[in-house]
Amino acid sequence: MNENSIPIHISTDPAALYQAAAERLLELGNHAIAERGSFHLALAGGSTPRGLYALLSQQAERIDWTRVQLYFGDERCVSPEHQDSNYRMVRDSLLDHLPIQPQIHRMRGELPPSEAAADYAKVLAQHLPATGFDLVLLGLGTDGHIASLFPGSNSLHEQQQTVLADFVGKMDSWRLSLTLPVLNQARHIMLLVSGVQKARVISQVLNSNPTEHLFPVQRLKPRGTLEWFIDEPAASLLDNGHA
């Protein structure tokens, strides 16, 4: 993956990062609603997107939430009330603050892992258009993982299933995740990354040979547009000529 081939938006700090990402998300969402009548959005978990969701909740009037269908890129295999639940984080930071609720397609992490994956695959088959997501929002781990697709996982090579349950040894937990085929079918993918602790992996990913797959994020080859939204600490190891 070479940084010259994809848009990279660098913001001064997390607050500016969230604002830039919110503007792009709302632009894409309103365009999808105008063109196709609905906005199919897959949300990221983790700590970085929380600030974006909180900002969106404060600008709720800028999009018709009744035309938004929310999905999840991954989930921990826990109940929706558990502190580690991605759904709970999205609910607390965004959904509870919206005057009108979108249609929410939650991964049922409380089910046995294989059953939960099969259940969400049915949800996608029933609700997601054949053309795929309008937008997938992803974070990035310090090991280069996206959603719950971790380095060394067999799930990185899955070509048929849309959702997998995988035991992540380094996390000592079961995870549910969309697979690369469904992620890469998206019209748009936004990678949202903040913090100096992500600087090394960003530098390695963006400066590596496009044919190398050292990290899961490098397997993103969407049919649409892939954009990076990062703050200056996360971009601190990029060459000045590419910043």
**Rounded Cα–Cα distance for residues 4 and 6 (Å):** 6
Assigned domain for 192 exists? no
3-class SS of residue 168 = strand
Contact 96, 50 (CB under 8 A): no
Write down the pLDDT at residue 2: 45
Residue with structure tokens 């009330």?
A: 81
List of the chain residues with pLDDT < 70 = 1-5, 208-212, 240-243
Write down the pLDDT at residue 207: 80
Q: What CATH number does the domain containing 46 carry?
A: 3.40.50.1360
pTM of the model: 0.94
Assigned domain for 146 exists? yes
Q: Is 219 exposed, middle or buried (0-12, 13-18, 19+ CB in 10 A)?
A: middle
Number of structural domains (the chain) is 1
Note down the domain range covering 69: 24-171+209-225
59-72 pLDDT tens trace: 999 999 999 999 99
186-239 pLDDT tens trace: 999 999 999 999 999 999 998 866 666 789 999 999 999 999 999 999 999 997
